[in-house]
Structure 1
Amino acid sequence: MSSVLITGASKGIGRAIALELSRRGHRVVATARRPETLADLPVDQRLRLDVTDQETVDQAVKDAGDVDVLISNAGETVRAPLESVPLAEVERLFQLNTLGALRVAQGVLPAMRARGAGRLIFVSSVQGRLVLPMIGPYGASKWALEALAETLAIETRHFGVKVSVVQPGAVSSGGGERAGVFLKENDPYGPLYEQLPLLRGESVTPEEVAAAVAATVEHPEPPLRVPVGAPAERALKARKEASENEPFLMTKIDW
């Protein structure tokens, strides 16, 4: 069984991953900005880790001991048109979703490289390969995350480190409902925002994502990209087949 460190384990996908891997007998180190939110998880360790705070990352990596697998899950999203989204919100998402993931990877990689073995699993999204209007800042942070992950896969495979990117579509984790919405009164983009549920399509559960992550942890030769669920597979296939010379949307909208 593997020793697994999970970021963002207090709710949603991260919590489901911690429960699934613990059920399968892995040694699970669950982390969150507020470790008290992890109290009811049946895991081996519960540590404070804020992916945007280098000091907490360094301390958590030290306290976790040997880490065979990093599951980089911490992340957030917002809802806003790019014309008016506060740039501070865009910067915050990149710090959390992208640079935060790299910061923790940098923390565990030296020991993995020295041992000649390890796994980095990044929880991304189909929005790491395609875009949705009104969720552009999140999508951009995931496109950047996938570029970092693919680069890491090339740079670290010589040292026995395997890298995977897990790509669900919409997930019924509550993350979208918790997202900050930045729309003015009578915002001209309001009608487009109202169509967002149609654009996001059918969802998968956090447990389905957790099962895909656990299968990736246990796969002897995991693929680089792991779509989760039929909706994600359809969306990514359609994106691959679509023209690169025009914007791509899975669902046509009256806009």
Structure 2
Amino acid sequence: MSSVLITGASRGIGRAIAIELAGRGHRVIATARRPEALADLPVDQRLRLDVTDQDSVDAAIRDAGEVDVLVSNAGATVRVPLESVPLDDVERLFQLNTLGALRVAQGVLPAMRARGAGRLVFVSSIQGRMVLPLVGPYGATKWALEALAETLAIETGHFGIKVSIVQPGVVSSGSGEPAKVSLPDGDPYTPLLGALAVLRGEAVTLEAVAVTVADTIEQAEPALRVPAGAPAKQVLEARKSAPEDKPFLMREIDW
């Protein structure tokens, strides 16, 4: 069984992944900014790890010991139109969702490369390949994350390291930090909230996403991109086949 370090394991998708992998017999190292939130998880180690803090990342990787698999899951989102989103919020999302993922990957890669084996699994989103109104900053961080992950697949594959990007759609019990909504009364973009609920489509469970991640880890030759659940696969296939003359989903919005 593998030794698996999971970021953002205190709730949502990360917690479900930790439970699923522990149940399969893997050595799970669960991490979070608040390690006390990990107390009830049936895992081997519970460590503090803030992906935006280099010292925290270095300490966690040192204390974790050998890591065969990194599941990079920590992340957050906001719901706000691009016209009015505070740029500090956008910067925070990139620090957490994108640069934080790269920071932890940089921490585990030297040992994986030296051993000639390792797995990097990045929890992305269908929004890593498409965009939704009011969630543009989050989508931008996931597009950037997928670019970094695909580059890592090319750069590190020669060293025996396999990279996968898991792409959930809507998750029924929520994932990670609750979305911050920044739409004051009378905001002209408010009608898009109703459209967003329709466009996001059918939900899958946290457990289903966790099973997808665990199955990906256990495959000998995992795919680079792995949709999590039938709804995500359908949306991504529709996006791939859609014409490029107009933004995807623009025809679906009636407001």
Normalised by the shorter chain, which TM-score bucket?
over 0.9
CA RMSD of aligned residues (A): 1.2
In the alignment, is residue 72 of structure 1 matched against residue 72 of structure 2?
A: yes
The answer on whether the counterparts of 1:199 and 1:250 sit within 8 Å (CA) in structure 2 is no
Q: Hey, what does 1:98 align to over in structure 2? A: 98
Q: 1:218 to 1:196 in 2, by over 3 A?
A: same
Superposed displacement of residue 185, structure 1: 2.1
Q: 1:190 to 1:250 in 2, by over 3 A?
A: closer
Q: Distance in 2 between matches of 1:196 and 1:84?
A: 18
Matches within 5 A, 1:105-124: 105-124=105-124
Identity within the alignment, %: 76
Superposed displacement of residue 197, structure 1: 1.1
Q: Hey, what does 1:226 align to over in structure 2? A: 226
Q: Hey, what does 1:202 align to over in structure 2? A: 202
Q: 1:220 to 1:171 in 2, by over 3 A?
A: same
TM-score under structure 2 length normalisation:
0.98
The answer on whether the counterparts of 2:127 and 2:142 sit within 8 Å (CA) in structure 1 is yes
Q: Hey, what does 2:149 align to over in structure 1? A: 149
Runs of 4+ in 1 over 4 A off after TM superposition: none
Q: Hey, what does 2:62 align to over in structure 1? A: 62
Of 140-149 and 171-180, more deviation after overlay is shown by: 171-180
The answer on whether the counterparts of 1:77 and 1:175 sit within 8 Å (CA) in structure 2 is no
Q: 1:11 to 1:252 in 2, by over 3 A?
A: same
Q: Hey, what does 1:253 align to over in structure 2? A: 253
Superposed displacement of residue 201, structure 1: 1.0
Superposed displacement of residue 177, structure 1: 8.2
Q: 2:54 is matched by which residue type in structure 1?
A: Q
Q: Distance in 2 between matches of 1:68 and 1:242?
A: 38
Q: Hey, what does 1:42 align to over in structure 2? A: 42
Q: Distance in 2 between matches of 1:58 and 1:230?
A: 37
In the alignment, is residue 166 of structure 1 matched against residue 173 of structure 2?
A: no
Q: 1:172 is matched by which residue type in structure 2?
A: S
Q: 2:22 is matched by which residue type in structure 1?
A: S
1:197-254 residue CA offsets vs partner (Å, 9 max, x unmatched): 1111111111000000000110000000000111111111111101122100187121
1:147-192 residue CA offsets vs partner (Å, 9 max, x unmatched): 0000000000000000000001111232488211111220000111
Q: Hey, what does 2:32 align to over in structure 1? A: 32
Q: 1:187 is matched by which residue type in structure 2?
A: D
Q: Hey, what does 1:21 align to over in structure 2? A: 21
The answer on whether the counterparts of 2:6 and 2:72 sit within 8 Å (CA) in structure 1 is yes
Q: Distance in 2 between matches of 1:16 and 1:133?
A: 28
Q: 1:122 to 1:177 in 2, by over 3 A?
A: closer
Alignment gaps of 5+ in structure 2? none
Q: Distance in 1 between matches of 2:237 and 2:61?
A: 37
The answer on whether the counterparts of 1:235 and 1:250 sit within 8 Å (CA) in structure 2 is no
Q: Hey, what does 1:238 align to over in structure 2? A: 238
Q: 1:15 to 1:250 in 2, by over 3 A?
A: farther
Superposed displacement of residue 37, structure 1: 0.1
Q: Distance in 1 between matches of 2:131 and 2:29?
A: 33
TM-score under structure 1 length normalisation:
0.98
Alignment gaps of 5+ in structure 1? none
Q: Distance in 1 between matches of 2:238 and 2:140?
A: 19
Q: 1:65 is matched by which residue type in structure 2?
A: G
Q: Distance in 2 between matches of 1:136 and 1:84?
A: 12
Q: Distance in 2 between matches of 1:35 and 1:18?
A: 14
Alignment: residue pair count: 255
Q: Hey, what does 1:187 align to over in structure 2? A: 187
